[in-house]
Amino acid sequence: MPGKLKVKIVAGRHLPVMDRASDLTDAFVEVKFGNTTFKTDVYPKSLNPQWNSEWFKFEVDDEDLQDEPLQITVLDHDTYSANDAIGKVYIDIDPLLYSEAATVISGWFPIYDTIHGIRGEINVVVKVDLFNDLNRFRQSSCGVKFFCTTSIPKCYRAVVIHGFVEELVVNEDPEYQWIDRIRTPRASNEARQRLISLMSGELQRKIGLKVLEMRGNAVVGYLQCFDLEGESGLVVRAIGTVCTLDKISNTAFLPACNSPSKEMKEIPFNEDPNPNTHSSGPSTPLKNQTYSFSPSKSYSRQSSSSDTDLSLTPKTGMGSGSAGKEGGPFKALLRQQTQTALEQREFPFFTLTAFPPGFLVHVGGVVSARSVKLLDRIHNPDEPETRDAWWAEIRQEIKSHAKALGCHAVVGYSESTSICEEVCILSASGTAAVLNPRFLQDGTMEGCLEQRLSWQPGFFSIGSEKGEVDFFPQNQDSSSLLGLEETSPPGCGFCHIPYDELNMPFPAHLIYCYNCRKQKVPDVLFTTIDLPAEAMVIGKGCLIQARLCRLKKKAQAEANATSISNLLPFMEYEVHTQLMNKLKLKGMNALFGLRIQITVGENMLMGLASATGVYLTALPTPGGIQIAGKTPNDGAYEQHVSHMQKKINDTIAKNKELYEINPPEIPEEIIGSPFPEPRQRSRLLRSQSESSDEVMELDLSHGKKDAFVLEIDDTDAMEDVHSLLTDVPPPPGFYSCNTEIMPGINNWTSDIQMFTSVRVSRLSNINLTNQTLNKNFNDLCENLLKSLYFKLRSMIPCCLCHVNFTVALPEDEVIQVTVTAVAITFDKHQALQTSRVPVEKTLQRASTDNEEQLQFPLELCSDPLVSQPFSPAKEVLENASSHTGVPAAQRAASLDKASPLAEGHLRHRSVPSCTNSTVSVVKMTPLSFIPGAKITKYLGIINMFFIRETTSLREEGGVSGFLHAFIAEVFAMVRAHVAALGGNAVVSYIMKQCVFMENPNKNQAQCLINVSGDAVIVVRESELEMVPVQPSTAVSQPASAGDVTT
């Protein structure tokens, strides 16, 4: 009996009228946890009842504490008939179970009903008294911290990054049970909500147990998903990265604490001698099961790895091995070390997308695997072997792909599913990488501790100008400490190829790194991770999307699965071609945060890839795109081709200007490439997806002048070229990316707006062909983006960050696109000042790195701006552009043109805050930070699942009105929970699922939404300066590091 849960019901307000006669309500509350229920007294005839109940006490196992949600039901007392339910509140008490998070949950919660939505609010106080439990064989894992954030949380330091953890639980879906035919929709929805809440609690507890087994104390990058498999059941699965985290005493004043402060270490669970001797690896009994490849009864066909390989890797265009001088042996050594650190791990995967500096050594490229499965009823929910085996297969494939790239680890790893009827596509993707082994082991920690501490400032203050400036010197320091400076300078090291040049797994162009000239780099780099903080970039980034539809015959079971499997490799190939073309069109050479989603519907497959394109200084300047006509003798045709060519060239030039991509012209001889002179062009022919011979032949050439040839040999290809040019750039003052931060912008203001936008489009009355589908889908996405730009125009200058598109095909000929992102206003003038920093750095670096070849123009090294960093923006502009070759006048003009608008809006926004609101503001963002603020405390994970249903769709304003209200309600409930935990923001917020179904004929609709994020307390930076060191005092005391008083 290791825990006591105490609940007090204080009051209600704005209750709905339940008694038509009196226009009032006789409300009382039922408080339920597990199988115990308490009731308050009836508070008669009031819409604002004051119950002020006693403390209801539940004495429960901590296992139950983790699994069960607290369930609060508000009812209307009725003397003669059954009491009517007003609504419910589910409270996840998990944040109260670990000492560092919240200590009390107290506040107003919206009372939610699955049919009526929010109906008033209730004030509740919840506390937990945990007793120490010395039972080693316990089933609970209280105390393990969970973070959705896919980087090391801001006020923690990673002592060890242990590795991958996964788990899944399955159950029957209440919606599909026989009882559902006789119960009300409300009862069915509530059963479902409760079950999923219970399952995710159980899942989290089980993951926690694995974490303890691996001797970690936290899961970072925790991603939990639901698969609504319909008849065959409900799967809740989660993956994450196990870490041992240390709380940093004071994030705001980090540079001060340079000492290795070992006393701050608090890994409570490492102290317990673990009875399980599997300390080295994450092997658990369950894991072993995943290996036992049980031949599933269901039919399953995996899209063969060779297909995926082909369609994936040639496009990613990774360079090959290290022919470098000293790089070879070092790399081998490194590989060995990493191997020992990783080889005990079944899956050396990391769900993180941003890393402590020095962690990421090399990046190989994107690896992904998909498999098509037929769903079958899960007969025994306690042994979800089939699902486990499916995922194990996929992960194995990913692992082997990574190996082929000479990498031992996969970072930025994620998994997803798409289900249509009984067919399910399982997908996994990540970025193959070589990691620094020191972070992965307990033993070697002491030496590394210091560097990591000194590394933190740059890492933490992403978004503040100061951080950016501070970063580089520190960067150099610590890299030299790590002994890596020779082979991998921090700015470009991760770009260097990890694989062997002579044994390239695929054809690619390689070239010496433009930054250090010592190692080979590929000409293009695709990754699923965030842009590393130390990466050197020129100009700004932009959101790049590839969109694709493929028709598919309607089919049943196996035939269906087969046809999908056959289509998949072609889709992946097309998606990559599109991405590559669009990247070239933008004049950029690397993609970050790549996420390819393949969605299956009844009669079509949709592919949507989103990524953020950037120009990495280490990689060569991308060549243009050349169009080659098929019939060169036809005059008119040729004219047309040259017209297209001109358009493309213009677009590239325009984009380069728009994104400020002005790489310094480096004389050819500096490159010092031992390669022969580059040939004029390389060719890539469409339609040669598989026959690799020819590609090899044609791909021999390389070099930075290479152009990308598009051969328009049929109308299909013509369409593609057209679609390339239809993507409209965002209006002036707008930027967009799907990564955490936008390269080239680092002076965010605190003005943020997180939003979700949903569009459902019916493809009625159109001739369904691949072309029209593509066009429609493309238009849908482009229009959606345009709409966002228009709506957020008052925030200009602004960047849409973490733009996350999700596509669903809920029924025949219906496409649903959901976008969640955050718009952040930035300070334009400061932006201009800092935007030169990377360029300048590059120049400096380039010059220092090439000291032996002093042909480099001298004036570039002694940048006059260094001495006067706060010169007016315009001047900076002129100076900067004098280097980069864009006419200064032109730039300044574009600046002047946009500014009055922005100022006007600024004035608008600065309305003095007013009076008597009692509702505290909760900010939400999909990013891991709040611009202009410091996270002082993580309060726990928010993971909520809601169902809303209506039988009066028209009366609620149709589908748009219904969903609009519901999403607003979901936001409200998330905010209320965070506020009750004492927080004022949600970071790493994500809407993982938004399943919408309608039946207009019956006037019905239903929607399921699953959201998650990390509840935090943030303090504005300006306030921090005024109230110094306040939160640190409690933590810096070594023993009682658990409890922070904020």
Partner 1 sequence: MTNDLDIFVGNTTLIDEEVYQLWLDGYSVSDAVSLRLRSGILEQTGATVDVLQSDTMDHYRTFHMLERLLHTPSKLIHQLHFQIPPSRQAMLIERYYAFDEAFVREVLGKKLSKGTKKDLDDVSSKTGITLKSCRRQFDNFKRVFKVVEEMRGSLVENIQQHFLLSDRLARDYAAIVFFANSRFETGKKKLQFLTFEDFAYCAEQMIQNWTLGAVDSNVDDMDVDLDKEFLQELKELKVLIADKDLLDLHKSLVCTSLRGKISVYNEMEANFKNLSRALVNMASKLIHTKDVRDFFIDLVEKFIEPCKSDKWTLNDVRLFLTQYTTSAHTLDAFRHQALWDRYMSTIKSCLLKMYHD
Contact 446, 377 (CB under 8 A): no
Residue whose CB is less far from partner 1, 89 or 435:
89
Amino acid at 324: G
For the bound state, the minimum distance from the C-beta of residue 94 to partner 1, rounded and expressed in Å, comes to 22
For the bound state, the minimum distance from the C-beta of residue 445 to partner 1, rounded and expressed in Å, comes to 40
Residue whose CB is less far from partner 1, 682 or 806:
806
For the bound state, the minimum distance from the C-beta of residue 79 to partner 1, rounded and expressed in Å, comes to 29
Residue 910: closest CA among 715, 749, 1041, 739: 749
Q: Which of 917, 1025, 1026, 1039 binds partner 1 (CB under 8 A)?
A: 917
Residue whose CB is less far from partner 1, 684 or 959:
959
SS3 338: helix
Contact 468, 395 (CB under 8 A): no
Q: Does 167 engage in binding with partner 1 (CB under 8 A)?
A: no
The tokens describing 1003, both together, are: 């006037």
Determine the interface stretch with partner 1 among 394-402, 614-622, 631-639, 954-962 (rule: CB under 8 A). 954-962
Determine the interface stretch with partner 1 among 412-420, 640-648, 684-692, 911-919 (rule: CB under 8 A). 911-919
Q: Does 551 engage in binding with partner 1 (CB under 8 A)?
A: no
Provide the β-strand partners of residue 226. 236
Q: Does 916 engage in binding with partner 1 (CB under 8 A)?
A: yes
Q: Does 759 engage in binding with partner 1 (CB under 8 A)?
A: yes
Q: Which of 633, 855, 913, 1001 binds partner 1 (CB under 8 A)?
A: 913
H/E segment holding residue 993: strand 985-999
Determine the interface stretch with partner 1 among 465-473, 748-756, 856-864, 939-947 (rule: CB under 8 A). 748-756
In angstroms, the CA 87 to CA 91 distance is 13
Residues 874-903 binding partner 1 (CB under 8 A) are 901
For the bound state, the minimum distance from the C-beta of residue 787 to partner 1, rounded and expressed in Å, comes to 5
Q: Does 186 engage in binding with partner 1 (CB under 8 A)?
A: no
Which segments within 310-461 are labelled E, that is strand?
360-374, 409-420, 423-435
Which is it for strands 409-420 and 300-302: parallel, antiparallel or unpaired? unpaired
For the bound state, the minimum distance from the C-beta of residue 998 to partner 1, rounded and expressed in Å, comes to 8
Residues 962-991 binding partner 1 (CB under 8 A) are 963-965, 967-969, 971-972, 975-976
Residue whose CB is less far from partner 1, 432 or 788:
788
| Residue 350, φ and ψ in degrees, nearest 5 | -135, 125
Q: Does 791 engage in binding with partner 1 (CB under 8 A)?
A: yes
H/E segment holding residue 164: strand 156-171
Residue whose CB is less far from partner 1, 399 or 775:
775
Q: Does 750 engage in binding with partner 1 (CB under 8 A)?
A: no
Residue whose CB is less far from partner 1, 128 or 922:
922
In angstroms, the CA 499 to CA 497 distance is 6
Which is it for strands 923-924 and 985-999: parallel, antiparallel or unpaired? parallel
In angstroms, the CA 218 to CA 158 distance is 10
Q: Does 764 engage in binding with partner 1 (CB under 8 A)?
A: yes
Residue whose CB is less far from partner 1, 471 or 805:
805
In angstroms, the CA 1037 to CA 1020 distance is 25
Q: Does 121 engage in binding with partner 1 (CB under 8 A)?
A: yes
Binding mask 988-1017 for partner 1 (x = CB under 8 A): --------x---------------------
Residue whose CB is less far from partner 1, 625 or 809:
809
Q: Does 763 engage in binding with partner 1 (CB under 8 A)?
A: yes
Q: Which of 761, 1003, 1004, 1032 binds partner 1 (CB under 8 A)?
A: 761
Q: Does 808 engage in binding with partner 1 (CB under 8 A)?
A: no
Provide the β-strand partners of residue 512. 520
Q: What is the DSSP string of 696-715?
A: HHHTT--STT--EEEEE-SH
Q: Does 821 engage in binding with partner 1 (CB under 8 A)?
A: no
Q: Which of 667, 857, 957, 1038 binds partner 1 (CB under 8 A)?
A: 957
SS3 422: coil
Q: Does 907 engage in binding with partner 1 (CB under 8 A)?
A: no
Residues 6+ apart with CB under 8 A from 117: 948, 965, 966, 969
Q: Does 814 engage in binding with partner 1 (CB under 8 A)?
A: yes
Angle between the N-to-C axes of helices 385-404 and 305-316, in degrees from 0 to 180, rounded to the nearest 10: 40
Q: Does 71 engage in binding with partner 1 (CB under 8 A)?
A: no
Q: Does 396 engage in binding with partner 1 (CB under 8 A)?
A: no
In angstroms, the CA 490 to CA 226 distance is 39
Cis, bond preceding 507 (omega within 30 deg of 0): no
Provide the β-strand partners of residue 373. 300, 424
In angstroms, the CA 1017 to CA 1027 distance is 15
In angstroms, the CA 51 to CA 42 distance is 8
Angle CA 896–898–902, to nearest 5: 115
Residues 96-115 binding partner 1 (CB under 8 A) are 108, 110
Tell me the CA distances in angstroms from 499 to 405, 520, 524, 608, 1020, one per residue in order. Answer: 5, 10, 15, 29, 45
Residues 770-789 binding partner 1 (CB under 8 A) are 776, 779-780, 783, 786-789
Q: In what order do the strands lie in the sheet with 525-526?
A: 525-526, 590-600, 604-616, 537-551
Q: Which of 29, 128, 754, 941 binds partner 1 (CB under 8 A)?
A: 754
Residue whose CB is less far from partner 1, 866 or 968:
968
Q: Which of 692, 757, 770, 1030 binds partner 1 (CB under 8 A)?
A: 757
For the bound state, the minimum distance from the C-beta of residue 7 to partner 1, rounded and expressed in Å, comes to 20
Amino acid at 17: V
The tokens describing 70, both together, are: 């607290």
For the bound state, the minimum distance from the C-beta of residue 793 to partner 1, rounded and expressed in Å, comes to 6
Determine the interface stretch with partner 1 among 409-417, 629-637, 714-722, 749-757 (rule: CB under 8 A). 749-757
Which segments within 214-314 are labelled E, that is strand?
218-228, 234-247, 300-302
Q: What is the DSSP string of 799-834?
A: EEEEEEEEEEEEETTEEEEEEEEEEEEE-HHHHHHH
Q: Which of 14, 265, 403, 681 binds partner 1 (CB under 8 A)?
A: 14
Q: Does 760 engage in binding with partner 1 (CB under 8 A)?
A: yes
Q: Does 919 engage in binding with partner 1 (CB under 8 A)?
A: yes
Amino acid at 869: P
Angle CA 120–123–128, to nearest 5: 140
Q: Does 194 engage in binding with partner 1 (CB under 8 A)?
A: no
798 alpha carbon, distance to own chain's centre: 20
Q: Does 482 engage in binding with partner 1 (CB under 8 A)?
A: no
Tell me the CA distances in angstroms from 233 to 89, 452, 564, one per residue in order. Answer: 25, 46, 22
Residue whose CB is less far from partner 1, 506 or 971:
971
Q: Does 377 engage in binding with partner 1 (CB under 8 A)?
A: no
For the bound state, the minimum distance from the C-beta of residue 731 to partner 1, rounded and expressed in Å, comes to 5
Determine the interface stretch with partner 1 among 38-46, 153-161, 285-293, 922-930 (rule: CB under 8 A). 922-930
Determine the interface stretch with partner 1 among 38-46, 506-514, 701-709, 757-765 (rule: CB under 8 A). 757-765
Q: Does 731 engage in binding with partner 1 (CB under 8 A)?
A: yes
Burial class (CB in 10 A: 0-12, 13-18, 19+), 586: buried
Residues 621-680 binding partner 1 (CB under 8 A) are none
Q: Does 756 engage in binding with partner 1 (CB under 8 A)?
A: yes
Which residues are near partner 1 by CB under 8 A?
13-14, 108, 110, 118, 121, 731, 753-764, 766, 776, 779-780, 783, 786-791, 793, 814, 816, 901, 911-919, 921-924, 957, 959-961, 963-965, 967-969, 971-972, 975-976, 996
